[in-house]
Amino acid sequence: MNYLRSHTSASERLFTRRQTLLLGLGGLTGLGASTLAHQFMNPSFNLTQPTLNPPTLNNFNFASLGNTPLRQRAANKGLIYGAAVRQYAVSSDTQFAQAVVRECAMIVPEWELKWNFLRPTPSTFDFGPADWLFNFAQTNGLLFRGHTLIWHEVGALPQWFGSVVNFRNARQLFLDHITTVVNHYRGRIHSWDVVNEAIHIPDGRSNGLRNTPWLNWLGEDYINLAFRTAAQADPNAMLVYNDYGLDYDTPQDEAKRNAVLRLLERLKAQGTPIHALGIQAHLIGGETRFNAQKLRNFLTEVANLGLKILITEIDVTDNQLPINIQARDQTVAGVYQDYLATVLNERAVVAVLNWGLSDRYTWLTEFAARSDQAPVRPLPLDDQMQRKLAWNAMSNAFNNAPLR
């Protein structure tokens, strides 16, 4: 199944936040589940006249970094570095596959473990593409992690979902899906994003929970149920709650940080087998509302709950930056440097994963295209697999991180 095609058709059927953004941003071709949603929900973010004050690069000497790959720089500090990848890209593009093996210690399937890839019918599973990536990881000595078991997003659900699932069968389908998928990789996987993006402040619930089909059918305990089911299927996997919109010093992000923290506290209090928070970190080039101390305080509160932290999907949207590549790359690198310098000072952070490795394969090409048609440049490698200033900034952040 083509993810982008299924996503578009689903968005035409239902009025999602992506549709809302598309209607309001005629110059963009689409948008993602994280960065652009953050921009839309933040009324003070000016899409036509963004703040374009590049962050400083802290005077690091980017010219003297050497050739040590990101995976080794991270490992030197007790960290795991990796990236989300697409099976068709790794299997058909030798240059990209070599870059993945060189730079990464872990991979996560970008699409292949979402419901719309795994569930061609209500009663069948197709693990073919995900298994191909798992075997690629095994062959090359890479860790493998799963994304995602439970997610509400229409574009990541199969076309049959809306007409089949109801109050009578939702619980059994929910349990069967988690159990089957987790069992399939039992003992062979590093971690799972068990529940993805369950907090959405604009839905107006006092606890911040998003109004999703699972909440409607199963009640507020569906998150606890998902983690307990996953833990029963694989007691050794790290189980992660994953979310976006936690990064900036805005009222929206502050409210979401608070709601996520309350959710984690509730789960811990009831003995839910949750081991980590995943922070997506879809960042915005040119956004200056970043408060390192506030983010650091949030990370400390999460760590004090006994949870690890993974940066699970980091990239930097550049569609509102100048077309000049040098200026764009400098701003993007500055965002990486400032963000990672902050989060890596928290020793509970154990992994950093880019959502993609090379600009040749990034979701932002489709969902946050530039109005001037210039290729986007959000990742550490360019579309020719060459290292960019973003790679340098990440290298410096790993080099300067405290040892775990």
Domain residues of the chain, as ranges?
A: 3-400
103 is catalytic: no
Active-site residue, selected from the candidate residues 110, 112, 313, 346: 313
Q: What is the pLDDT of residue 171?
A: 98
Q: What is the pLDDT of residue 62?
A: 57
197 is catalytic: yes
Active-site residue, selected from the candidate residues 197, 287, 346, 366: 197
Q: What is the pLDDT of residue 63?
A: 57
Q: What is the pLDDT of residue 65?
A: 80
| SS3 labels along the chain | CCHHHHHHHHHHHCCCHHHHHHHHCCCCCCCCCCHHHHHHHCCCCCCCCCCCCCCCCCCCCHHHCCCCCHHHHHHCCCCEEEEEECHHHHHHCHHHHHHHHHHCCEEEECCCCCHHHHCCECCECCCHHHHHHHHHHHHCCCEEEEEEEEECCHHHCCCCHHHHCCCCCHHHHHHHHHHHHHHHCCCCCCEEEEEECCECHHHCCCCCECCCHHHHHHCCCHHHHHHHHHHHHCCCCEEEEEECCCCCCCHHHHHHHHHHHHHHHHHHHCCCCCCEEEECCEEECCCCCCCHHHHHHHHHHHHHCCCEEEEEEEEEECCCCCCCHHHHHHHHHHHHHHHHHHHCCCCCEEEEEECCCECCCCCHHHHCCCCCCCCCCCCCECCCCCECHHHHHHHHHHHHCCCC
CATH among 1.10.10.10, 3.20.20.80, 3.90.320.10, 3.40.50.1110 for 3-400: 3.20.20.80
Residue-wise pLDDT tens for the chain (404 aa)? 333 333 333 222 222 332 322 222 222 222 233 333 333 233 232 323 333 344 444 444 555 588 999 999 999 999 999 999 999 999 999 999 999 999 999 999 999 999 999 999 999 999 999 999 999 999 999 999 999 999 999 999 999 999 999 999 999 999 999 999 999 999 999 999 999 999 999 999 999 999 999 999 999 999 999 999 999 999 999 999 999 999 999 999 999 999 999 999 999 999 999 999 999 999 999 999 999 999 999 999 999 999 999 999 999 999 999 999 999 999 999 999 999 999 999 999 999 999 999 999 999 999 999 999 999 999 999 999 999 999 999 999 999 999 99
